[in-house]
């Protein structure tokens, strides 16, 4: 199917939603079933567990409510732990925070944007891009967001405007190896802190 040129951002979103960690193509997640059921209970969520007919692929989807928003957490045998939230923002604010691997360093040399924070360790590990550098720096430098990104070795934190659906999509990608329920609870609370930060900076529509 031919894609229209004005769908570049939607294409970018689709790519990010399918991202996986290098060298971790398949990992059995069914052993985490009790963890996901406990999370559903703790946060008053709604858990959907799906399996193929042959039961060789399992996927989890957990929906959690928070301050009129819905956090969707997913993981499967073939995709990493991901956290997604849809927002209606007052302004067109977008950003991308991702591991600064070899490819990213090459792109940066050729002029790719790389915003700096007040933390050298963070700046050496992550590439930061945004259409509003001042705002993303304020969000990262105030509070615990930056420290939590480092602590949990988050692979990707991305906010992009989905023009087709007229919403902003916040995507956090972790990895394939998070098996500790307490760590997942911390990551959930990290998403809640992001929502609170957006509220603090008056970015959300009522």
Task: Report the 3 state secondary structure along 87-127.
Answer: ECECCCCCEEEEECCHHHHHHHHCCCCCCCCCCHHHHHHEE
Any domain includes 60: yes
- 110 pLDDT band, cuts 50/70/90, is low
* Residue pLDDT, tens place only, 30-55: 999 999 999 999 999 999 999 988 88
Any domain includes 189: yes
Between 14 and 43, residue with greater pLDDT = 43
What does residue 193 show for φ and ψ, rounded to 5 degrees?
Answer: -65, -40
Cα separation, 111 vs 172, whole angstroms: 25
- Residue 176: the pLDDT is 83
Any domain includes 205: no
- Residue 107: the pLDDT is 62
Any domain includes 104: yes
Q: In b/e form, how buried is each residue of 111-123, taking b as 16+ CB within 10 angstroms?
A: eeebbebeeeebe
Any domain includes 23: yes
Give me the domain span that covers residue 180.
5-200
Quote the DSSP letter at residue 22: T
Sequential DSSP letters for 117-165: -S-HHHHHHEEEEES-HHHHHHHHHSSSHHHHHHHTT-SEEEEEEETTT
Between 108 and 101, residue with greater pLDDT = 101
Average of per-residue pLDDT values in the chain: 86
Number of domains in the chain: 1
Any domain includes 206: no
Cα separation, 32 vs 37, whole angstroms: 9
């Amino acid at each position: 199917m031919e894609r229209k040129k004005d769908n570049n951002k939607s294409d970018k979103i689709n790519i990010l939603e399918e991202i996986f960690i290098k060298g971790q193509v398949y990992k059995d997640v069914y052993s985490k079933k009790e963890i996901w059921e406990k999370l559903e209970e703790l946060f008053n969520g709604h858990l959907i567990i799906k399996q193929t007919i042959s039961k060789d692929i399992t996927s989890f989807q957990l929906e959690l409510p928070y301050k009129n928003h819905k956090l969707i957490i997913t993981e499967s045998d073939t995709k990493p732990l991901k956290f997604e939230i849809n927002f209606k923002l007052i302004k067109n604010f977008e950003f991308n925070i991702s591991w600064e691997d070899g490819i990213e360093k090459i792109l940066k040399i050729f002029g790719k944007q790389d915003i700096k924070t007040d933390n050298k360790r963070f700046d050496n590990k992550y590439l930061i891009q945004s259409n509003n550098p001042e705002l993303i720096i304020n969000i990262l430098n105030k509070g615990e967001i930056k420290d939590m990104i480092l602590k949990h070795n988050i692979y990707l934190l991305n906010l992009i405007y989905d023009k087709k659906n007229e919403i902003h999509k916040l995507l956090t990608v972790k990895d394939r190896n998070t098996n500790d329920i307490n760590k997942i609870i911390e990551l959930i609370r990290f998403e809640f802190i992001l929502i609170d930060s957006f509220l603090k900076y008056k970015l959300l529509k009522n």
